[in-house]
Amino acid sequence: MTFSTWFTFLIAACVIAISPGSGAVLSMSHGLNYGVKKASGTILGLQAGLLLILAIAGGGVGSILMASELAFSVIKTVGALYLIYLGFNQWRARVELIKTEQASANTQTPDWSRRFLTGFLTNATNPKGIIFMVAVLPQFISHDAPLLPQLLILGITMCSVDLIVMHSYALAASGMQRYFSNPRWLKGQNRFFGGVLMAIGTALFFVKRSPAS
């Protein structure tokens, strides 16, 4: 892999990471509710989901998913329903009055493994991620060089960029915690992020696979 090829992929990874999506919404939501430190578990889960998709695309399985109407529909439906489920739970989440100085210490914060799993499933079941990997990844892989080292380089690059961007989203949201000590504001932010997640999930139902060549 040449430097120019890697640098082009770096730019593509930055654009994709910065573009608002379910991962960004989830990072902001958890950053606002739990703080940046605890949102890191969610963000690490997002990276694990990205790596799974990269491995699927790199191994050629992604091409099968894109070619099979049934397989792609199953992945799409599972991903859409999961995001709607997350959004619905956040929309109807109970709001308890807490002191401002205790806002970041909510006792109802899910444990690390649950936050990690939420992030993992959010990216692993995202058909847009599969489409991106299957459509874009092959353009940065040389068939004259071993596949595994190239996948490792691309994976490290992609996750490094996404880690920085998602933590930036979480940090920005966490800085607004002091504005959400009022129960009405807390309820409003829960409904906002919940509504966005449900909207993204609903939009996934309209994602179409690329026609098999």
Q: What is the pLDDT of residues 87-96, one digit of tens each?
A: 787 787 665 5
Residue 145 belongs to domain spanning? 3-204
Question: What would the pLDDT profile of 151-192 be if each residue is shown by its tens digit?
Answer: 899 899 999 999 999 999 999 888 876 665 566 766 777 788
Residue 48 lies in a domain: yes
Looking at residue 106, its pLDDT comes to: 44
Choose between 188 and 44: higher pLDDT.
44
Residue 212 lies in a domain: no
Residue 213 lies in a domain: no
pTM above 0.75, yes or no: no
Residue 209 lies in a domain: no
Looking at residue 209, its pLDDT comes to: 59
- Are 115 and 42 spatial neighbours (Cβ–Cβ below 8 Å)? yes
Looking at residue 210, its pLDDT comes to: 54
Pick from 125, 112, 132, 27: nearest CA to 73:
125
Number of structural domains found in the chain:
1
* Residue 14 predicted with pLDDT over 80: yes
